Amino acid sequence: MAPYDVLIAGGGNLGLWTAYTLALRGFGRIAVCERGWAGGGATSRSAGVVRQQGGSETAVKLGRLSRELYLRLGEKLGLDSGFIETGYYIVAETEEEKEGFLRLVEVRREAGVDNEWIEPDEGRRRFPDLNWDRFVGATYTPDDGYVHPPIAARNVTYAAVRSEAVDLFEMCEVRDIEHIGERFSVRTTRGTFEAEKVVNAGGPRGARNVGAMVGLDVPVMAVRHQVVTFPTLAEGSSHPFPLFFAVGKGYYVRPEEEGAALGLSNPVDEADTSGRYQIDFDWDYYEEMRPDWESAFPALKDLSVSRVWAASIDYTPDHLPIIDEPMEGFYVLAAGGHGMMWGPALGYKMAELVEEGGVTDLPGDEIDLGRFTRERDPNRMQDTIALPFPKK
């Protein structure tokens, strides 16, 4: 087999967007080696929330660019983009939370995102089905929303493979990587590939292993995240409704067909080392938290469920992504648990790094791999708008 210019290990949202963007740039021949099916990992199991209301400049910029890229790709393919714009409230339950949120409104506005602080009285007028007595207010962005993950995966897979530059190999597990001279020799279950450059986009169930193949510690871990769908809403509730995220409680709700989807993470869950994408659904935690979301959003009260699933979500120690070239020709790309809201932008930035040798418009010390071993800058803002991921 002739050598590839770039081999991407992992065909999830990140690997596929990287392949597609490299092809758009005309960057040589690209192989995507995917252990299972394209998009079949965390990507297709996700809830698809796309929010520009990040908790740091990096997060905001990645969310904004990703939303744009999803829409642009849909238009280009003449297919639906899968993005549904609903508006999004991130609710604050305490004065302390409110203070932090107000600072973030400024960060987001500076990054070009339409973001405002909503007092409860105004909230009641705009979104009366939410129980604003529970909250001291919320930040709001009108053009946030969500993608249907299967459509997002379909579009980017189709966009990548229709380019002559991209070869997608499914059922192709990367087992070993050797750096020989100027090239990498990549041993897979479908033979050995030669490539000038390798991008590690192995996600929650691969990035760490693929990194270890070249002696790198890539701190991408996996933990349980659960999603529940309800076929309808309680009688009298308005539909569709805007998304909302109770960050302090670790759950969010969005519309799903005529009903709703709710995602939740248990703060006491630890890293899951089973290696599986499928994880046991924690019904006890679901029942424990149910009174909370039923009081916050009575439209979900006493509903039956249509589907539940629990799967491995990726996380990094600071909830931020990794976009780096820690050794010559070997790149690491990871989403820090936000690969649907940031995936297109991460692919775009990785393609930039591969072709141009640098990433523009993002602070280097928030995206490099080295930050996890450097002493932490005490002035650096912690990204607080994230699910409760484990500490380790």
Ligand X SMILES: Cc1cc2nc3c(=O)[nH]c(=O)nc-3n(C[C@H](O)[C@H](O)[C@H](O)COP(=O)(O)OP(=O)(O)OC[C@H]3O[C@@H](n4cnc5c(N)ncnc54)[C@H](O)[C@@H]3O)c2cc1C
Among 68, 122, 143, 173, which residue interacts with ligand X (rule: CB under 6 A)? 173
Q: What are phi and psi of 154, to 5 degrees?
A: -60, -50
- Tell me: does residue 90 bind ligand X (CB under 6 A): no
- Give the residue from 355, 363, 338 showing the smallest Cα distance to 25: 355
- Checking phi first, is residue 271 left (phi over 0); if not, alpha (psi -120 to 50) or beta? beta
**In whole angstroms, how close is the CB of 43 to ligand X at the nearest point?**
3
> CA torsion, points 44, 46, 47, 49, in degrees to nearest 10?
-100
In this structure, how many other beta carbons lie within 10 angstroms of the beta carbon of residue 304? 8
- Tell me: does residue 390 bind ligand X (CB under 6 A): no
**In whole angstroms, how close is the CB of 1 to ligand X at the nearest point?**
17
Instruction: Give the gyration radius of the chain's Cα atoms.
Output: 21
Query: Which range of residues in 85-93, 201-209, 351-359, 374-382 is near ligand X by CB under 6 A?
Result: 201-209
> Could you tell me where the DSSP H helices lie in the chain?
13-24, 42-45, 57-77, 95-110, 120-126, 149-161, 207-212, 283-296, 343-356
Among 21, 29, 35, 255, which residue interacts with ligand X (rule: CB under 6 A)? 35
CB-CB contact of 139 with 90 (8 Å) = yes
Q: What are phi and psi of 270, to 5 degrees?
A: -100, 170
- Give the residue from 194, 218, 153, 221 showing the smallest Cα distance to 33: 194
Among 205, 208, 319, 371, which residue interacts with ligand X (rule: CB under 6 A)? 205
- Tell me: does residue 223 bind ligand X (CB under 6 A): no
- Tell me: does residue 210 bind ligand X (CB under 6 A): yes
Site for ligand X in 254-293 (CB under 6 A): 263
Among 7, 168, 201, 228, which residue interacts with ligand X (rule: CB under 6 A)? 201
- Tell me: does residue 225 bind ligand X (CB under 6 A): yes
Query: Which range of residues in 42-50, 102-110, 293-301, 374-382 is near ligand X by CB under 6 A?
Result: 42-50
- Tell me: does residue 41 bind ligand X (CB under 6 A): yes
Cβ closest to ligand X, residue 36 vs residue 120: 36
- Tell me: does residue 366 bind ligand X (CB under 6 A): no
Site for ligand X in 325-354 (CB under 6 A): 335, 337-341, 343
- Residue 20, both tokens: 């597609």
Query: Which range of residues in 3-11, 75-83, 99-107, 111-119 is near ligand X by CB under 6 A?
Result: 3-11
- Tell me: does residue 206 bind ligand X (CB under 6 A): yes
Nearest residue to ligand X on Cβ basis: 12
Among 246, 311, 323, 369, which residue interacts with ligand X (rule: CB under 6 A)? 311
- Tell me: does residue 18 bind ligand X (CB under 6 A): no
b/e 176-209 (16+ beta carbons within 10 angstroms → b): ebeeeeebbebebeeeebebbbbbbbbbbbbbbb
Please state the length of the chain.
Answer: 392
- Give the interface with ligand X as residue ranges (CB under 6 A): 9-15, 33-36, 40-43, 45-49, 173-174, 201-206, 209-210, 225, 227, 263, 311-314, 335, 337-341, 343
